[in-house]
Amino acid sequence: MSNHLPLEIVEEILHRLPVKSIVKCTSVCKAWNSLITRQTFIYDHLNRTIQAPNHNSSLFFQFRKRRSPNDPPSLHQEETYSLYSINQQTDQFSVERFPLSHLFEPYRYTLFVGACNGLVCSADHSPLESATTIIWNPSLRKYIVLPKPITTCKDIWRGRYYLVRNVDPKYDVFFGFGFDSRNNDYKVVRLMNDRSTQDTPHVEVYSLASHIWRSISVTVPQFFLCNRQWYRPWLSSLFLNGTFHWIVCRYIEGGSGMYYKFILSFDVIQETFRELTLPQQQSNEKAVISRLLPVEGSHSLAVVNHVNMRRRNQRVFCIWVMKDYGITNSWTEIFRLDSGLYGGILAVLALTNSGKVVLILNGGAIVLVDPIKESVEPVGLAKMSEFFVSSFVESLLLLNKEPDVLSF
């Protein structure tokens, strides 16, 4: 058929196919293979997918089951990466799972750094010299291993490295992964923050185009890791509007030990940091945990506060959206959920572009809730104790990166 059609028509047809079908078409003939693996075709297909009004959007999860303190260090941590795709016509989820634990050392905790344009970044959070970071494409089942970071911590405690968690308790390690639209490049940012000093955190940026890390000299606002995550010295970011976002804390001046939370952001193009204010709670509320919330297929910044209602013995999840990005007084509370609903809500995971909420319940069930209609739909089951989530769109990126790209 391709011999009787102009190449422009063939290209138009291929652009309308899903990724897995396009990959199969690379084996049809050399002309099709050459067309599909061109960088211009790959980016055109991605842009069309993003801009299509009826494309199937997805949410990407990493679930992790904590290892017991009595487990030997050699026992591999149980982890599952899952892609939940929603059908816009039926509003139903389909699930595809990816085992990746074998790509990391068995005694390491791995971190879901983020997802952007069909690529996912995962890393172990070790500040030691053997830290591993990969960028992978779930649709193609291909990945690339990043070179080792420039700066590492080789502190020795009691005569040995931290082999159980491979983490120096002095350091917080922060990651971000996103797209630099000006330079058409994908970047990973890595911050090492020494909690024992007031020194500026060390910042490194990896470029997929150059395949190298570089240290950058930049002003970073003072902060520390909050949400009682002292036992978890890492923090995933939310990438939105060309910017990484983390929720962090800073002590109030005066030595009282009190602190407040704010959003630390990093512009991936300008490579500069700034601060954004979180939404203000009412006087009878105390936010225990604040998390940035991915909004499927949206450019809106959202946050969920797990709030204690003073004098009521009640906990609620308050969901806020920043209507105008970067304008802090545009924070708007869209709804709240009592934590006792549906047998007990463990966490709010994400918002869909249809206004529904993805929850994980105390029993491990993942459900899709319509807060207006008060309907509940089961999505899946995750018997895991920790989770990370991001919006996702499939792409052909990494298809033409041979020989650096590996398959799994």
| 52-80 pLDDT per residue, tens | 766 666 777 776 655 555 554 444 455 56
Angle in degrees, 0-180, between the axes of helices 39-51 and 7-15, rounded to the nearest 10: 50
Neighbours of 128 (CB within 10 A): 20
Query: Euclidean distance between the first and final Cα of the chain, in Å?
Result: 33
Which residues is 220 bridged to in the sheet? none
What CA–CA distance (Å, rounded) separates 265 from 408?
Answer: 33
* pLDDT tens track for 186-208: 999 998 877 766 677 889 999 99
Token couple for 115: 């997802």
Q: How confident is the model at residue 162 (pLDDT cuts 50, 70, 90)?
A: very low
Q: How confident is the model at residue 319 (pLDDT cuts 50, 70, 90)?
A: very high
Looking at residue 4, the DSSP 8-state letter turns out to be G
CA dihedral over 184, 273, 245, 79, signed as positive or negative? positive
Sheet strand arrangement including 386-392: 93-98, 78-86, 58-65, 386-392
Percent of the chain with pLDDT over 90: 36
Average pLDDT of the chain to the nearest whole number: 80
pLDDT of 177 over the 90 cut: yes
Q: How confident is the model at residue 386 (pLDDT cuts 50, 70, 90)?
A: low
Q: What is 37-407's CATH number, 3.90.650.10, 2.120.10.80, 3.90.1560.10, 3.40.50.150?
A: 2.120.10.80
Give the start-to-end residue ranges of the domains of the chain: 37-407
pLDDT of 273 over the 70 cut: yes
Which residues is 187 bridged to in the sheet? 178, 207
What is the average per-residue pLDDT within 344-367? 86
Give the DSSP H or E segment for 13: helix 7-15
What local confidence, expressed as pLDDT, does residue 14 receive? 94
pLDDT of 92 over the 80 cut: no
DSSP of 376-408: EEEEEE---SEEEEEEE----TTTT-TTT-EE-
